[in-house]
Chain A
């Protein structure tokens, strides 16, 4: 598999630009996961009660679980419309190497669902009485974690794109691989709140993102070929 770099870059940027344009024309697709995230984070304190200790204690965990589920929610549709209208077929027979296009789709998924979560998290963190110093770390862990989740999720979305109602299967496939992200993400924020050292957790999240980045586009491309047979 050889391909010249400019063509790969053009194909990847083309996918990102096209899908951002689509997202701009149908903003509901982006707003749904974001809305879910905000709702969970806003309702949880109401259900737990106004005890500040409890909120501060559970804040990192709840925000991270909500972020993970919000990411999963938006994954199902990642390749679905491309599959249904035949543009996935056109991408599969294009001379641009498929991993480049798959990476483009993952980047665009992160831009439209991961990044908005990161950006809105400081606002949501207020409902958990999270101090500003901790909120900064929440954003950093979410930033690193959602990158991994978007890339991993693309593999699952590609594998289940040909199946009807593949959402449950998609979650089952992705969650085991996403567990380390959740554990280290939530735990790192808790540690910051407790005043402990956090470098280890951040290093892990960063390393995991790089690891996933190194294989996810290829796995996604292979999965797309299989599920489109």
Chain B
């Protein structure tokens, strides 16, 4: 199996503080990378840096054989990011928000209503995001991931605000995604049991 995402000798600073040095990893199809560490150790920063929002002090990330920075569009077309902030417009309805997403990134072609039904948010279609609970908003963010055709999922604390069924659903959806040859990088401060071949990076 080919290595799709690889990172070479990464060093990241935030302000004066060095978050990590000489970090390398490689992610193949169907693999999961877990980022662990206490609060404030830089899990989110690492994830933002992988997504290309922060630049590394040193080191490079490759998507296939191509450095991510030299073909940003190709890399961004292959990833979808579930950030800490869901990134939806509070005044627009669920459907309006997801329709906007469809303009931004390529879609998997999954049936819209089926995805919403699966995430148990199909009753909320016509409601503005503002009136949804935090957990329901996270579910809409999950819908964004399922609807996009991106092979690489970046998930920053995906279990936050979710109830037990929601957490189980995240685990289930992620394993399905991995089984289909997708990749996932997940930051979590709780133990996650997904698949068998998870790599771990523990940030100090």
Q: Classify chain A: how many residues form its interface, as a range.
A: 20 to 34
Using Cβ atoms and an 8 Å threshold, which residues of chain B touch A18? 89, 92, 96, 100
B17-25, B73-81, B164-172, B173-181 - interface stretch: B73-81
Query: Are B88 and A87 in contact (CB-based, < 8 A)?
Result: yes
Using Cβ atoms and an 8 Å threshold, which residues of chain B touch A88? 87
Nearest CB in chain B: distance from A96 CB, A = 6
- Given the known interface contacts A2-B73, A11-B103, the answer about A21 and B86 at a Cβ–Cβ threshold of 8 Å is no
Q: Classify chain B: how many residues form its interface, as a range.
A: 20 to 34
Using Cβ atoms and an 8 Å threshold, which residues of chain B touch A14? 100, 102-104
Query: Are A95 and B103 in contact (CB-based, < 8 A)?
Result: no
Contact of B53 among A3, A15, A87, A92 (CB under 8 A): A92
**B123 at interface, CB cutoff 8 A:** no
Name the prevailing secondary structure of the A interface residues. helix
Nearest CB in chain A: distance from B141 CB, A = 10
Using Cβ atoms and an 8 Å threshold, which residues of chain A touch B81? 89-90, 93
**A10 at interface, CB cutoff 8 A:** yes
Query: Are B103 and A26 in contact (CB-based, < 8 A)?
Result: no
Contact of B88 among A85, A93, A96, A225 (CB under 8 A): A85
Known: A90-B83, A92-B51. 4 other contacts (CB 8 A): A18-B92, A85-B87, A93-B51, A95-B76
Chain B interface residues (CB < 8 Å from chain A): 48, 51-55, 72-74, 76-77, 79, 81, 83-92, 96, 100-106
